[in-house]
Every structure is written in C-alpha cells, then in structure tokens.
Amino acid sequence: MTPDPSLAALSDTLFSVSVAVYSLAVVAFCAQLAFGRRPARELVAAGGAPAPRTGADDISSDVRSPDAPADVPADGTAGEPGAARRWGLLALALTVLGAVGHAGVLVARGLAADRLPWGNMYEFATAVVLVGVAVYVVLAVRTPGLRHIGLFVLAPVVVAMVLVGLFLYADAGPLVAALRSSWLAVHVSTAILGFGIFFVSGIASGLYLLRSRPEEPRPGSLVSRLPGAAALDRVAHRTAVFGFPIWTFAVIAGAIWAESAWGRFWGWDPKETWAFIAWVVYAAYLHARTTAGWRGRPAAWVNLVGLGVMVFNLLYVNLVSTGLHSYGGVS
C-alpha cells in the first residue's frame, strides 16, 4: 500500500508542534521552580535518619509541606506562592497538550501507512517518549507535589524528541517483511511500555541521588525545591515494579516470536542478549531495594545502570552492531 502523503505530512507537522509545546512546558516548569519554594522537607530524627513513617505508605505523604495545617491536602503545594502554583498548572496543561499532539504523531503515521506505528526506530523511540510523558502526567495528577520534577522529565523529553527527529527519522512506509507478524502488536508494544516506564523510573532515581546527598541543599537552590528523597525513591521503585513485569512479558514474547520466525527461542543475538541484560539489571534493582546494605543510593545507581542499558540496546545495538534484529534502522 502506498502511504497517504497528507497524513504522513500531518504526522511530521504534529511532531514539530509537540516539540514546541513541550519546550514551552519546560519554560513553565522553570518558572514554577523559580517562583516557588522548597515543596517538602523530610522530618529528620536524631542521628540523621528520616523519621519513622506513621501514615499510609504513599508518595503524597512525603511531599506535604511540614508547615501545612492538618486539613490541607497532602499534595506538596501547600504554602507554595500563588505564582508558582499557576506556573505549575500551566506547565502541566502544556505537557498534556503536547502529549495529545505527540499521540497524534503516531496515530496519523499509522493511518498513513495502514499499520501499527512502531515499525522502525523513529516510531519506536517516539512511542517510548510518549509513554514516559504519560507516566509523568499520571504521577503529577495523582500527587501534585511531583509536578516539581517536571523540568527534569520534560527537558530530557525535548532533547530526545529533537535527536529522534534529526537522526532517526524515516519516511512513512510499509513494514519490512521480517516485521509482518501479529507478534509486532504484542512484543514491540510491551517493549515500548516497559521502556517508557523505566525512563521515568531512571529520572526519579537520578533526582533521588541528588536529593539524598549527606549535605543539606543550599536554601533556594534547585535541589532544595525537589520533593523529599523518600518520595523520589518511592516513585523510582514503584514505576520499576510496574514496568518490570511488562518488560518480562516483552522478553518472553520476543522469544516466542523468534521461535516462530527463526525456529529457535534464543540465539544470543545482540538485541536478545541486551534485552535480557536489562531484565537482569532491573531484577537486581528490585532485589537491592529489599537487601540490607543496598537500599537507598546503591540501589538507585543500579536503576540508572538499567536505564543506560535500555538506551544502549536501542541505539548501539540497532545502529552499530549487526544481527537478526538489524533491519537497516528498523527496531
């Protein structure tokens, strides 16, 4: 089938619009941090350890302002200047608007080519970034105090979108023969979901490492305006817990597809190997979170390594190495 040029052009236009709207959201998130104040402060007991938790084990309880009255919702915005709240709401609205346009990129491209819109690296990476944005929006709506990490999510999103558009772009077209299978909807879709969720998890771990340093952040600094270290650690852990079974299913589905296409479940192809390495790293992270001596900062570093492996698997394995998954830039 010949791709519909008008829909393909619409997809490309929406891509540019999405980058522009996300960029405006980054500016609004910067203004939120500039006009706001530190949204949370963890209670520290003698000896420097966080005070024991007495309430429900949720994220919002770690982003409540310590000076807020008991009847103020624990959303991390209590006591925040009105200007900062308005900028935060504007930033979130722009993020949602950008995500709508971002989804339109994939919908229009799928309609143009009459297929699922993740048949090459450009489409795969675009979909992964969209999932990451969607995960952040859900977190920010559920716990408004987490809007303060928006800058650190949306800035990498803008950079990723620009790089994807510059270096991974491919014209809309039919699938290569190797991908014409119903397993595309199963294996690749779950890989996109897992990767996008791990994207947010890795960012949360990076922010946790900044927030949990022994020295107290300087008042008014960017780090001091982040949610508490415990809240960031919990975001990283819960998103990883959510993404891990999805990635596990993606690896298993890929093995089943490999048996159907090549007559074997596993062949140590570079893509298969690094997907499994990523699975091992995230399994190690989840285990480290429950192991004495590995909780906290060491576990966060493992999570960041996991994100690095995922990015390496997407870029190096697809663009540099050769194997059965090398389809001339197709994921």
- Which ranges of the chain have pLDDT less than 50? 38-57, 61, 64-75, 328-331
Is residue 129 within 8 Å of 102, Cβ to Cβ? yes
Domain assignment present for residue 119? The answer is no
Q: Which helix (H) or strand (E) holds 244?
A: helix 229-262
Does residue 10 belong to any structural domain of this protein?
no
Instruction: Tell me, yes or no, whether 295 lies in a domain.
Output: yes
> pLDDT at position 55, please?
36
Evaluate whether residue 280 is within a structural domain: yes
The pLDDT, as a whole number, for residue 90 is: 95
pLDDT for 293 equals 79
Percent of the chain past pLDDT 90, that is, above it, reads 52
Predicted pLDDT of residue 59? 56
In the prediction, which pLDDT does 50 show? Answer: 45
User: Which residue segment(s) compose the domain that 290 sits in?
Assistant: 176-331
Residue 81 lies in a domain: no
Distance, in Å, from the CA atom of 300 to the CA atom of 90, rounded to the nearest integer, reads 31
pLDDT of residue 49: 41
pTM (2 d.p.)? 0.84
Q: Which residues contact 41 (CB under 8 A, 6 or more apart)?
A: 65, 66, 228
Q: Supply the pLDDT for residue 327.
A: 53
* Domain contains 160: no
Give the three-state DSSP class for 192. Answer: helix
- Residue 318 CA to residue 270 CA, distance in Å, equals 9
Residue 40 lies in a domain: no
What pLDDT is stored for residue 322 in this prediction?
Answer: 62
Closest C-alpha among 167, 136, 141 to residue 26: 136
Give the whole-angstrom CA distance, residue 10 versus residue 16. 10
Tell me which DSSP letter residue 193 carries: H
Domain total of the chain? 1
Residues 288-310 have pLDDT tens digits of 988 877 888 999 999 999 999 99
- Determine the pLDDT at residue 7: 94
Cβ atoms 270, 232 nearer than 8 A: no
- Residue 62 is predicted with a pLDDT of 53
Residue with tokens 């609205």: 93
Q: Are 146 and 63 in contact (CB under 8 A)?
A: yes
Q: What pLDDT does 79 receive? A: 52
Beta carbons within 10 angstroms of residue 121's beta carbon: 22
Residue 65: inside a domain: no
- The conformation of residue 50, written as its DSSP 8-state character, comes to B
What pLDDT is stored for residue 204 in this prediction? 96
Which helix (H) or strand (E) segment holds residue 138: the answer is: helix 121-142
